[in-house]
Amino acid sequence: MLILLFVLIPTLVVATYAVVQAFRHRQPTSIESGVNAFRREMDALSPDAMQIQTRPNDESNAPAAPRRAPGVGPARPASQDRQDQN
């Protein structure tokens, strides 16, 4: 009979812990919680929620210039080449 206590006590402890965890993490079932969950989903899907995240650019609203690889840039006009040679 004493050997059954070694099996019965841990089983009761585990069962008690499982019941407590089940009550702590259960989903709310009220009508209001269902309405709130639906509203959160609709807000997440609305076009107003989709804002493009941009980094601030020197506190100005001008768009940033596209980055180029080093050494690659626009060709210099021929008039500037002639001025540099003089």
Reply yes or no on whether the pLDDT at 27 is more than 70. Answer: yes
Tokens (6 digits) for 46 = 């609305």
The reported pLDDT for the residue numbered 80 is: 58
d(CA 14, CA 8): 10
Question: pLDDT-based confidence at 24, cuts 50/70/90?
Answer: very high
- The structure's pTM equals 0.39
Question: pLDDT-based confidence at 13, cuts 50/70/90?
Answer: very high
What own/partner pairs with CB < 8 Å and gap ≥ 24 does 48-53 have?
Answer: none
What is the 3 state secondary structure string of 39-71? HHHHHHHCHHHCCCCCCCECCECCCCCCCCCCC
The answer to whether the CB of 74 falls within 8 A of the CB of 81 is no
Reply yes or no on whether the pLDDT at 15 is more than 90. Answer: yes
